Amino acid sequence: MASVPSINQFSYNLSSKNPSTSSKISILPPNLINLKSKFTPQSPISTIKKSQTFSIKSSIESNSTSDEKGPLESSRVGVLEAEEPKELSEVEILKKKLVDTFYGTNRGLSATTETRAEIVEFISQLEAVNPTPNPTDALPLLNGKWILAYTSFAGLYPLLSRGTLPLVKLEEISQTIDSENFTVQNSVKFAGPLASTSISANAKFEVRSPKRVQIKFEEGIIGTPQLTDSIEFPENVEFLGQKIDLTPFKGVISSVQDSASSVARTVSSQPPLKFSISNRITESWLLTTYLDEELRISRGDGGSVFVLIKEGSPLLKP
């Protein structure tokens, strides 16, 4: 029994030192204390309510912000996305304009002074935005067959420019580059009423600077003529204002057609003619001033300029 008063005395002394604490503890029953503790600021429920309120408020503010700033931000993104292709499209448009000026100039040989000046201006603008400033460091980009679209070098085919080969059409001038073997082949294709053929020159090249290569020609090749294996004759012809019926000559015409087919097969089976090129004209240099996947601009001896388009490029389409 002596222990009970000591316990009560200890409780009294403890509560007397902290009366406020004692009053709170003595006034509230245990069940109410437990109930209140569930709603204290440190309670998980209170925290969840606060976090939910905060998340809802943040969501509302975020939606409000996106509604207010969203169109502006999206418009800025749209502008950035439109500006980057715009710069590329300007180059594409410039290339298209350059190619369009070649129309009717016979690869530059019959271009007027005004047209040449316009071409020079377009070329200068493209050279100023050359995406490959060091072409010899990007030799794989040079690989493939390049079709000549324009040149200021009139001596490239002087015979045709003088009209000494009637009925013969210059079909194509091309340059094929193999950067792995360091070889170049320049080729000219001719087409006539009865046959087509080509003349080519094979060469080796060496890199001399980031833009310049030295070319040494080794041999020339005259391709085997490809004759027309089928000659079509009209049923009638007009001579001195009168129509002449060729039906009675149908048997003779068929015989001529058969002979032509036989000759075509015989000639086409022959190998091309190769010959060595004279040492006097074996070397030249070429400076590439613009290069991308489909267009190449080069300058040669005497300030001549060459514009070539990669085979298969849409720029070759009229």
Tell me the per-residue pLDDT of 233-291, one tens digit each, with 9 for 90 and over.
566 666 666 777 767 766 766 676 667 666 666 766 778 888 888 765 678 899 999 99
Tell me which amino acid residue 128 is. A
Q: What is the largest CA-CA distance in the chain?
A: 157
- Pair 308, 147: CB distance under 8 Å: yes
Q: Cα 29 to chain center, whole Å?
A: 84
Q: Are strands 305-310 and 144-151 parallel, antiparallel or unpaired?
A: antiparallel
Domain edges within the chain = 91-224+271-313, 228-270
Q: Given this model, what pLDDT does residue 36 score? A: 42
72-102: b or e for each residue (b if 16 or more CB lie within 10 Å)?
eeeeeeeeeeeeeeeeeeeeeeebeebbebb
CATH, domain range 91-224+271-313: 2.40.128
% of the chain at pLDDT higher than 70: 56
Please tell me the distance from the alpha carbon of residue 247 to that of residue 43, in angstroms, as a whole number. Answer: 112
Residue 69 has pLDDT above 80, yes or no: no
Output the pTM of the full model: 0.62
